[in-house]
Amino acid sequence: MIRVTAFKDRTVAVFGLGASGLATVRALEAGGARVAAWDDSVAGRAAAEEAGVPLVDLASADWSLFAALVLAPGVPLTHPEPHWTVEKAKAAGIEVIGDVELFFRERAATCPHAPVVAITGTNGKSTTTALIAHILGSFGNDVQLGGNIGRAVLTLEAPAPDRIHVLELSSFQIDLAPGAAPTVAVLLNVTPDHIDRHGTVEHYAEVKSRLVANAGATAVIGVDDDWCRRIADTLEVRGRPKVRRISVRAAVADGIYAQDAKLYENGRERADLDGIATLRGAHNWQNAAAAVAAVEALPERFHAGGDLQAALRSFPGLAHRLEVVDKIGPVDFINDSKATNADSTEKALASFAGDIYWILGGRPKAGGIATLAAYFPRIARAYLIGEATDAFAATLGESVPFERCGTLGAAVRRAADDALAANRPGSVVLLSPACASYDQFRNFEERGDAFRHLVAERVAGRASA
């Protein structure tokens, strides 16, 4: 755990008592602060109380006693409207920050040159974060992985000169961390997302841009969308930080270009991704290019002599992100439950040439799946589930044969039957929903785990037969 000393002998309000909120309370108390913690949820308060967290009803508290409000990232800061605690903090004239801000303040106070790599973007940030940590770890470094992936940032080991923190940061976390200044910052891409929390795509992009603008040494930026290209150009004109561009569309003179499963820099091949199942598809080539650029932007002692090709080939990948669950005959069963919007699902569909038995649906997001029409010829059949069924059926129309399955269980059974009956090499049963999971599951992880279980049942049944 990281002791946060920035508020020693002062009182801090903490709202939102999930995993990161509880970690924040413990870190502040360990650093000598007094904490007034609260949560709107009765269950959340009960769990916190059981854990020994000091609860104070912030709705009736005297806010003049507080030095700051530490807000959980899932709580609205600005849109659709500020949470009531944010309004009270503004009225009291105190700052509203998050646990990531506390991390960077403690780093600045105790070990300002401790290396930190921070990664953001609409899509691909979890894979890129995990890959960076994997490469650095395989090179023998002390690596701490957390933030929006794995462990809450304040549960990690404290910053140190030879310890690298690799942090995935969401736009919500960046919005609450004005002092975030990583050694190397990565911005993969920007596409419209979380507009309900940021109001406009312009504001969403601006929040993302803060991370790379504040990088201490290098900003690694994917320049295949207009938003990020403009951000890279702006930083280059400003002259700091150093900008390294990443692309899967065109060669770049100041970064890494990915094409046909190979990474190139200045016309020289740097790495071969062919045959690495966990880095399949152009979107993962971008992730790999960003990871290599980020690792090599760190001081040389952290990467000199490392076997980059071996590190890439040993990358285990992440659950729910084009995860190969199993294989039955010629059919791969792919869990891409993390694809909660059309842009993410596009990456999955682009990764396979054809014979895709596609399971999709759930709670739809704005725009639906109309943007995926170019990939419809690759779909052998679609299996619709959840609230999006009628809307997606209308979009697929006569272009793709489909079935209304309702539930994931029914969809997996029907897709497996059809794919195995066709018996075509290279075919896949692909769960890539292009939707949120909340109509039938608590989160995308639960949905992906259910898919895994259904596939395991099918494998077991086939074995017993």
d(CA 305, CA 164): 17
365 catalytic, yes or no?
A: no
Write down the catalytic residue from 125, 208, 283, 365.
125
Sign of CA dihedral 7, 9, 14, 20: positive
Q: What is each CA distance from 431 to 166, 291, 353, 369, 454, in whole angstroms?
A: 29, 26, 16, 15, 12
Q: What angle do CA 72, 75, 78 make, to 5 degrees?
A: 120
Write down the catalytic residue from 141, 148, 189, 335.
148
d(CA 4, CA 16): 18
Write down the catalytic residue from 90, 194, 203, 242.
194
125 catalytic, yes or no?
A: yes
453 catalytic, yes or no?
A: no
Positions marked active-site: 125, 148, 194
